């Protein structure tokens, strides 16, 4: 069985972006920030940006 890190890495390397809510649904990952930290530690250059949802809400969007 693949680890969350491997599955998330494969997903990001395919050119897609990932939000914490998407990570929860697709990978059962409650802490995407921890997985991003692990992947960065292994040398992946992952960019994280805030994306505005509404006037008061933002979310973090990560991509390679």
pLDDT in tens, 8-61: 999 999 999 999 999 999 999 999 999 999 999 999 999 888 888 777 777 788
Residue 53 sits at φ, ψ, to 5 deg, of -100, -55
Half-sphere exposure of 23 toward its Cβ, with a 13 Å CA cutoff? 25
Model confidence, pTM: 0.83
**Is pLDDT above 80 for 1?**
no
| Displacement of CA 63 from its chain's centroid (Å) | 7
Residue 35: burial class (beta carbons within 10 Å; 0-12, 13-18, 19+):
buried
């Amino acid at each position: 069985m693949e680890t969350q890190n491997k599955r998330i890495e494969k997903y990001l390397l395919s050119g897609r972006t990932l939000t914490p809510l998407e990570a929860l649904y697709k990978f059962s990952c409650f802490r995407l920030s921890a997985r991003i930290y692990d992947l960065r530690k292994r040398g992946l250059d992952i960019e994280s940006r805030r994306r505005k949802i509404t006037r008061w809400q933002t979310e973090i969007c990560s991509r390679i």
